[in-house]
Amino acid sequence: MNKAKIAKVILNILIVIASLACLAMLFEMLGSFKYANREVEDPVETGMGVFEYDLKHRAYGEIVGSWYVDRMSSMEAPAGLEPTYRVAEYAHTAFMSRVYEETGDESAAASCAERRENLRNSLGDYGYAADEVDEMILNSP
């Protein structure tokens, strides 16, 4: 074979490879269009999904962190996300109760204990979270 034919075969192979790569990128781009408009997602559904994930993995620090961030824009829980606020507030109150007990501030600890009991009664289906938080924060050495 002469050099011209070899060069032509190599160029044809490179064109086929480039065409396949472009085709793969086109399919990837078309598949990503479903994420193009994130505003159509329901923020309550997304928020509850993240909350349920954090609960499953006992990531109460993440729940409380999200609560702090959300409270910077509004002190009231968005409609549908009230359970997340109650669980986060319970975890925060349990933590502060432990802090007050460790520092010897009995009146603040008693106030937190009362607040925790009120919150525990309002947790509903997420009452098990209170037990987990108490186990992690209040009963730890």
> What are the structure tokens assigned to 67, written together?
């609560």
DSSP 89: H
Q: In the prediction, which pLDDT does 11 show? A: 92
CA angle 52, 56, 62 (to 5 degrees): 70
Which are the contacts of 58, defined by CB distance < 8 A and separation ≥ 6? 132, 136
Residues of the chain with pLDDT > 70, as a percent, come to: 92
Model pLDDT, residue 18: 94
Domain range summary for the chain, segments of one domain joined by +: 3-35, 41-138
pLDDT tens for 19-63 read 999 999 998 888 777 666 656 667 777 778 888 888 888 888 888
* Token pair for 97: 């109760």
* CB atoms closer than 10 angstroms to residue 118: 11
For residues 68 and 109, is the Cβ–Cβ distance under 8 A? no
pLDDT tens string 121-138:
998 888 999 999 988 887
Say how far apart CA 123 and CA 29 lie, in whole Å. 44
